[in-house]
Amino acid sequence: MRKVFSVASLIVGVVFFALFMTVACTAYYLTHGQFISSELAAIYATLGLLGALSVVLRRYLFSILFYLGCALGWGAGLWVGTLKGSFAPTAGNIASVFLICCFSLIGFSLEIKGVRKRQKARRQEKEAARERELQAQAEIVDPPASPVPAEQPAEVCEPAQSPGT
């Protein structure tokens, strides 16, 4: 049975978290020209921890889609936030959250599908092993019949004679 996580996956998860936080804070600084606020840093840290946790638990497909959703959500939120109108910053946040949630749900559903597929394959493998074991036990209890002796020459039959000949 495979462990839930290993030291290597934990290290990779910590690296992904640090990389996510660095990229997020740098992108915010470059786009807004000021350092990130503590409230926004907490949101980014939460998102980074969620992605890192999925890496630690070896749910790589979810991780990829989650980080992709975060990047696309950030870009969409930034773009929508620059539009004219008083509701634009809020609409940018809504677009960002929507994309992150959509990509997370897609990743989650694909991970569930993969888990079910692996469970089905494992179950079929166990059934095949059980059938092989039963066949082996049946051969031990009831050995196969001895080989068929070599064929003996067939008797030559004379054609039946009719009474008038």
The model's pLDDT over 27-41, given as tens digits with 9 standing for 90+, comes to 888 888 888 888 888
Q: What is the pLDDT of residue 103?
A: 93
Q: How many CB atoms lie within 10 A of CB 13?
A: 21
**Phi, psi at residue 141, to the nearest 5°?**
-70, -45
Q: Where are the domains of the chain?
A: 1-58, 60-140
Q: Render pLDDT for 132-147 as a digit per residue (tens, 0 to 9).
A: 888 888 777 766 666 6
Local structure of residue 139 (DSSP, 8 states): H
CA distances from 61 to 114, 122, 154 (A): 10, 21, 71
Nearest-angstrom CA–CA distance, 108 and 61: 8
pLDDT digits (tens, 9 = 90+) for 13-66: 999 999 999 998 898 888 888 888 888 889 889 999 999 999 898 888 999 999
SS3 content of the chain, % helix, strand, coil (to 5): 75, 0, 25
- pTM for the full model? 0.70
